[in-house]
Chains A and B, each alone.
Chain A
Amino acid sequence: MSRAWEVPDLDPKASVAENARRVIAVRTAEFYSFAPLVPHPEYEEALHDLRIAAKRLRYTLELFRPQLGQFGDRQIDRVRAVQEALGTLHDHDVRIVLIGDELTQLAVEQSHDAQSAIAEASPEELPGITSASLRPPPDDPRRGLIALLGREHEARRAAYSEFRSLWESLGAQGFRRELVSLSVLPLAASS
């Protein structure tokens, strides 16, 4: 997980609005520093980091809600939508890794079981063991794990596609510009 960017130049003696502007500028830039990675669905970790950056930005905006008004609320809703879309994507990534790991573990266990059975089997029992290992029983857990893995990959592709559409649609609506305006405007009144 990437560390939060530090906010330079915070001034304890300055007004809340002035410091809010500085913090929001940093959190917005941190959030958009991941933008070049958005077209790459294979960068799971980077997309997860983008989600964390979205959370940091959202909680920061919520903190200064009284200063940001309804215009700020609109941006918070948009950041939350990005965060949630990436959350769904991340949940699929976690499950894909878990299922893959469980399949590996199961293969190891089944291999050990087969080796033990073969080592202890009489010559008459060997053909039965061989045919059983080549034709898994109906309750073999692999069946469910493989089917689930397939569904997870499919759902992940759909989740990425939804996230990408959302990202592009927000871009077309001028989301970034409006976020940046949050970091410019409180100062407009303090001069």
Chain B
Amino acid sequence: MKTDWESSLIAAIDIGSNSIKMTVGRANASGGVDEVDWASETVRLGQGLDSTGKLSDSRMDAAVETLNRFRQRAEQVGAAKIVAVATEATRAAANGPAFLQRVQDEAGVPIRVIGGDDEAALTFRGLGATSDLAGSVLVADVGGGSTELITARDRQIQGSTSIPLGSGRLTDRFIVDDPPTESEMRSSELAAGDALAGPLGEVLTERGDDRRVIIVGGTGEYMARLVPDPSAINLAAIRAVLARLEQMTAASLAEAIQIPEARARVLPAGIAIVAAIVERVKPAKVEIGRSGVRVGLLLQASDAIQAGASKTRIGNGRTNGKVKSPFDMGKVAKQVEAKGDEHDFRETMSALIAQRWEAVWKAVPVALEGADIEGVHDVRVASRRLRAAMDIAAPAFPKSWYRPLHRTAKEITSSLGEVRDRDVLLEALRAERESAPLPERPGIDRLIARVERERSVARVELESYLGNLMAGPVRQEIEQRFGQAERRKSDRNGKEQGKS
């Protein structure tokens, strides 16, 4: 039987022309979504659609496999409901209905094909969960097969339109080389500009000197990884990205921003569409939206469930929308009740980071001494624990001084890696030697000698690094930056123990 919190989990799937994406989560009290799992696969369902008018067998096979995996994954994480929508590729393809039937039969996922207006409404609702939609905005959801444009003022949609222009389509039509040539990129942008001119005129019916453009979808998300400052995107920055992409193969782009190569292949055309939009709209600001169709879909499905549940759940013991859990709720509740200046995230993380630096400092002398190989291991583990804390806490501290300390934590881990790896190797090889027949020992001895030589070299580097670290100003800086929080926490714990 599902617990209450599992019952509220919904998996929302968006089947686009480039990618199939899934978000699993539940609606929260503040109108947003708490996401617990997500997945994305670049299937290129719409590949070749413009030339044949159909979805190809190989792309449909890939989509069915992906949806099967997503369904299993959604079930594994405990989703009570799966909702899926398909957009431009399925709606435009002559064999779209056959594809939907296959997915229903083979993957067990019912799909709703949505039109441009529905897609715009879902995108806008999803975007509202994470972005401020006050004032005048133009939302552009750049997909693989289509681009949705929505104009809004003060959170109300004024108009929307769907254009059969997407990164996959534009790539199929104009981009042959890898990396794309300057001429291919220019053709893509000009074609995008031509396709956008009429629809933009239709939706931009009023002046908007203060208008913001919000880019939704993978194109915007990945473009943000290529600009120097995602909070200051303008046409010049987008053009600089396009120029850079003319020098990068899909493989190198995929590696640089950690996306699948097939997705990297269509990204330049997607950014060309963004450039064409920004050039024509001339917005006051360009922003990247962090949620869209899937979050909108999830909220919509949650509304439907709530509407059904409110009829049947009256008097079932649930209060204030809170859910039960198999958790140690006493501790969780205590933590939450303890909100306030003394227990806020920054303060707590400061104290944790101070503790973890202290664990590193304590372990370093044994590692430097070198008699016990566990000394190096202990520093390494302590530094990894420290990094876990520093990775998480980064948004809570000024970058100017936090980043160098964060980098130092990473350097500590890697400075010990070479020695630690060889310590592990030597331990195993010496054990092998003990039990090996005599004729095999010369070979093992040869290996041991090699690893010992390598370890000696690595050890010199380690001692130099750790010696400099201990003698340098870092320790004092750590004490200055994080030490006070740790002392306050100790004092507090002391008082609490005194009370009890």
Interface residues of A (CB under 8 A from B): 2-4, 7-17, 19, 21, 23, 25, 28-29, 32-33, 36, 55-56, 59-60, 62-63, 66-72, 91, 94-95, 98-99, 102, 106, 138-148, 151, 171, 176-177, 180-181, 183-191
Contacts and interface: CB of A to CB of B under 8 A. Distances in A.
Contact of B69 (A36, A69, A70): A36
A51 to B, nearest CB: 12
Contacts of A9: 130, 290
Contacts of B425: 94-95, 98
B345 A94 contact: no
Given A59-B384, A176-B76, A139 B36 contact: no
A70 B332 contact: no
11 contacts: A7-B392, A15-B335, A60-B392, A67-B332, A69-B327, A91-B428, A146-B443, A147-B440, A188-B324, A189-B333, A191-B320
A3 B443 contact: no
A11 B352 CA distance: 17
A71 B3 CA distance: 15
Contacts of B450: 102
A32 B350 CA distance: 30
Contacts of B384: 55, 59
Given A55-B384, A143-B442, A143-B443, A25 B323 contact: no
B326 A147 contact: no
Contacts of A184: 5, 9, 26, 34, 36, 325
Contacts of B73: 32
Contact of A59 (B35, B333, B385, B429): B385
A4 B413 CA distance: 15
Contacts of B441: 144
Interface in B94-138: 130
Q: 9 tightest A-B contacts by CB?
A: A69-B328, A144-B443, A144-B440, A59-B388, A12-B396, A141-B443, A145-B443, A185-B325, A180-B77
Given A28-B37, A146-B443, A189-B333, 5 more contacts: A71-B328, A95-B429, A143-B443, A185-B325, A187-B34
A29 B447 contact: no
Interface stretch (B142-150, B298-306, B336-344): B336-344
B34 A29 contact: no
B29 interface: yes
Contact of A148 (B336, B395, B432): B432
Contacts of B320: 191
Interface of B: 5-6, 9, 24, 26, 28-29, 34-39, 69, 73, 76-78, 130, 258, 290, 320-333, 335-336, 339, 343-346, 348-349, 352, 384-385, 387-389, 391-392, 394-396, 421, 424-425, 428-429, 432, 436, 439-447, 450-451
Contact of A145 (B69, B389, B396, B446): B446
A72 B336 CA distance: 17
A121 to B, nearest CB: 25
Contacts of B258: 2-3
B302 to A, nearest CB: 14
Nearest to B320: A191
A59 B356 CA distance: 12
B36 A148 contact: no
Nearest to B384: A59
Contacts of A12: 344-346, 395-396
B439 A138 contact: yes
B332 A13 contact: no
Contact of B352 (A7, A63, A148): A63
Contact of A15 (B38, B330, B336): B336
Contacts of B348: 16
Contact of A147 (B328, B331, B392, B443): B443
